[in-house]
Amino acid sequence: MLRRVGISIFAALLAAGAVGAAPAANAAEANTAKTGLRFENPAGMAPPVGPYSHVAIVPPGSELLVVAGQIGADPAGALPTDPAQQYRNALSNVIAALKAQGLGPEHIIKLNIWLVGDVPVEMTRAIRAELFGTAKPPSTLAYINRLGRSDLLVEIEAWAARPPT
């Protein structure tokens, strides 16, 4: 389910973390021009250990969209047993929810990923790069014991921002 809420406090918190941020790379600059969002890795911090940015800066007046945790079910509701396919489906579900709102992966400002069992991080990175392209939103990846059902191996939640027009 997609929810919309005000963003002023969230944007202020994100922007506060951007003090002293390093210049953006070419792909990030292109994303900023397209979306109005900025993704940075501030000086004085270790670089990200994966395909993400440390900070997302949301312009004032943006609309915040929250995509509930998506599981690895396909559009018909079938849940594969393969962790890679569950991961691919969950990310595809996030993208479908955003697309329904006229947005894409480049609008994601926070991604939370929960994995159960021995899901290889290398596999998740390859699928994410394939589906997200150059988008590298701030992200959290956690391995946990169990999700809401014992057959679920993946759940992915996303926060996105629609910049003002």
CA 20 to chain centre: 23
pLDDT the model gives residue 27: 56
Distance CA 9, CA 45 (A): 24
pLDDT the model gives residue 165: 81
* 116 neighbors 153 (Cβ within 8 angstroms): yes
Residues, the chain, total?
165
Give the CATH number of the domain where residue 158 resides: 3.30.1330.40
Average pLDDT along the chain, 165 residues, taken 10 residues at a time: 36 36 49 82 92 92 96 97 96 98 97 93 94 95 96 98 91
pLDDT the model gives residue 11: 36
* 108 DSSP β-pair partners: 160
pTM over 0.85: no
pLDDT the model gives residue 26: 55
Q: Which domain holds residue 101?
A: 1-165
pLDDT the model gives residue 50: 87
pLDDT the model gives residue 134: 93
* 57 neighbors 15 (Cβ within 8 angstroms): yes
**Structural domain total, the chain:** 1
At residue 128, φ and ψ (nearest 5 deg) are -60, -45
